[in-house]
Amino acid sequence: MKIIGFIKTSLLDWDGHVVASIYLPGCNFRCPFCHNRDAVLNPDIYEEIPWETIKEFIQEHNDFLDGVVITGGEPTIHEDLPDLICQIKALGVKVKLDTNGSNPSMLRDLIAADLIDYVAMDIKAPLNEKYDELTGISAPLEDIKQSIEILEESNIDREYRTTLAPILLKPSDIEAIAAYIGGTKKYAIQQFRPKCTLDPKLESATPMSKSQVKAIAENAKQYVRKVVIRGDV
């Protein structure tokens, strides 16, 4: 597996944890608001980071590292993802997986094998025909719903996340998402970043205002147990 990015230390990628973050290339979605454009469209431009380099860093710093975050792109498009996670877990650290929920069978297998400790799943839009617009493809809605079901029926720690893509999403859309995952542990509302977006037209879009974001988050609290806001608001 080609690893295209490695952040040695982050306090932002896993709430309450000091982590290293690994970036994997490619994605099966084409979300117009995605800010990892090259990782999705041009992964070959990145120089591969050797696993031995990452392994050595984790071994030398596991006294303060709480875990490793695996993100992308979309990690679950890689069939050898479980092998990578096994190598990380062998180093004695926890693993968080970022995913779009499109591969429920792999998600189920990773949980059953006790290979992941935390899952952050993106929910792009209300789970209806609007999902196609937010993902740029014919979205696998049933797979996404199944991934949510798998997470809710498991004991794994988890959160769901939605990026407040301007123009594309309305406050009522966020409420619909929160209602669908009603009763879950944690819902993170993320501010949109107008930089290097997959659709260049969105680079000139204005993010929602601070008051709008706070109002959306407050409204979501009637459905889920904890709502957090991430990003500059």
Confidence band of 103 (pLDDT split at 50, 70, 90): very high
CATH of the domain at 90: 3.20.20.70
Note the pLDDT tens digit of each residue in 157-167.
Answer: 999 999 999 99
Q: pTM here?
A: 0.96
Q: What angle do CA 233, 181, 153 make, to 5 degrees?
A: 130
Tens of pLDDT along 36-74?
889 999 999 999 999 999 999 999 998 999 999 999 999
Domain total in the chain: 1
Polymer length of the chain: 233
CA 86 vs CA 1, 76, 115, 161: distances in Å:
13, 14, 7, 26
What is the strand order of the sheet 227-230 is part of?
5-10, 19-23, 67-71, 94-99, 118-122, 157-164, 187-191, 227-230
Domain that holds residue 197: 5-230
107 neighbors 158 (Cβ within 8 angstroms): no
